[in-house]
Amino acid sequence: EIVMTQSPATLSVSPGERATLSCRASQSVNSDLAWYWQKPGQAPRLLMYGASTRATGIPARFSGSGSGTEFTLTISSLQSEDFAVYYCQQYNIWPLTFGGGTKVEIK
Amino acid sequence: EVQLVESGGGLIQPGGSLRLSCAASGFTVSTYYMSWVRQAPGKGLEWVSVLYSGGTIHYADSVRGRFIISRDSSKNTLYLQMNSLRAEDTAVFYCARAYRDGHNAFDYWGQGTLVTVSS
């Protein structure tokens, strides 16, 4: 099973600042990497797939990069609605696996 | 508009069985890869099972032999039959749609249904 490791576990950021989240796979997943965000009491929502393609309706301040084992999600200027938990997920090899999440909180 | 609505969760004793349903609208369940994903209280996401449009099925090791995924095309509904339930199966269960065949990033999720396994 591919282990997905996200860092940091918690990221404290002020509104308007840039946030950089990392996700590492224990072996290559090519570009089969998705990012989700989840707010308390809500279902996850797809942000990014194919490592760098924004899902429908996702604003341009979100960008994704990486391939193989190292991936990054960048939020260029944090808005109040962006404070949430972010998960990465690989879908290259069964079983599908998720990272443990990064909580982005208000500094 | 695409919608997924789960139901069937509740409190069940260890060793018991439960069947979850995921009613879909706005698209045809049988033409997409559909998965169940669960989230234990305060924890992260865990993929549980997938049913391909072509009928292939995969399970996570933690549920293989106990859970069965299926669909009813006439009702446009996905199911998860859960047997021999354990305390560690306690979680919110979500159904989710893959955005494209063979590419299991989930573009639509249901609101989730809570399963609590406890005596």
Residue owning tokens 């990221």: A11
Residue B100, pLDDT > 90, answer no
Enter the tokens of residue A33. Answer: 């990497």
Q: Give the chain B residue whose CA is nearest to the CA of A6.
A: B44
Place B103 in a pLDDT band, splitting at 50, 70 and 90. confident
Whether chain A has a CB inside 8 Å of the CB on B103: the answer is: yes
pLDDT digits (tens, 9 = 90+) for B83-96: 999 999 999 999 99
Distance from CA of B5 to the nearest CA of A (A): 12
Q: Which of B22, B25, B30 shows the shortest CA–CA distance to B101?
A: B30
Residue B42, pLDDT > 90, answer yes
Contact A32 B46 (CB under 8 A): no
Cα gap B91→B59, rounded to integer Å: 17
Cα gap B112→B6, rounded to integer Å: 6
In this predicted structure, what is the pLDDT of residue B102?
A: 78
Residues 6+ apart with CB under 8 A from B6: B20, B21, B22, B93, B94, B95, B110, B111, B112, B113
Q: Which of B106, B12, B112 shows the shortest CA–CA distance to B50?
A: B106
* Tens-digit pLDDT string for chain A (107 aa): 999 999 999 999 999 999 999 999 999 999 999 999 999 999 999 999 999 999 999 999 999 999 999 999 999 999 999 999 999 999 999 999 999 999 999 88
Whether chain A has a CB inside 8 Å of the CB on B9: the answer is: no
Whether chain A has a CB inside 8 Å of the CB on B5: the answer is: no
How is A11-58 classified by DSSP, letter by letter? EEE-TTS-EEEEEEESS--TT-EEEEEE-TTS--EEEEETTTEEPTT-
Strand partners, B25: B3
Residue B16, pLDDT > 90, answer yes
In this predicted structure, what is the pLDDT of residue B66?
A: 98
Give the nearest partner residue to B109 out of A34, A43, A91, using CB atoms. A43
Q: Which one-letter DSSP state was computed for residue B43?
A: S
Decide the pairing of beta strands B113-117 and B103-109: unpaired
Enter the tokens of residue B4. Answer: 């997924």
The burial class, CB within 10 Å (0-12 / 13-18 / 19+), for A22 is middle
Interface of A with B (CB under 8 A): 1, 32, 34, 36, 43-46, 49-50, 55-56, 87, 89, 91, 94-101
Q: Give the chain A residue whose CA is nearest to the CA of B111.
A: A43
Contact B106 A97 (CB under 8 A): no
In this predicted structure, what is the pLDDT of residue A96?
A: 96
Cα gap B50→B65, rounded to integer Å: 14
Distance from CA of B60 to the nearest CA of A (A): 6
Residue type for position B71: R
Enter the tokens of residue B27. Answer: 């698209």
Within a 10 A sphere around the Cβ of B112, how many other Cβ atoms?
A: 21
Q: What is the mean pLDDT of residues B38-62?
A: 97
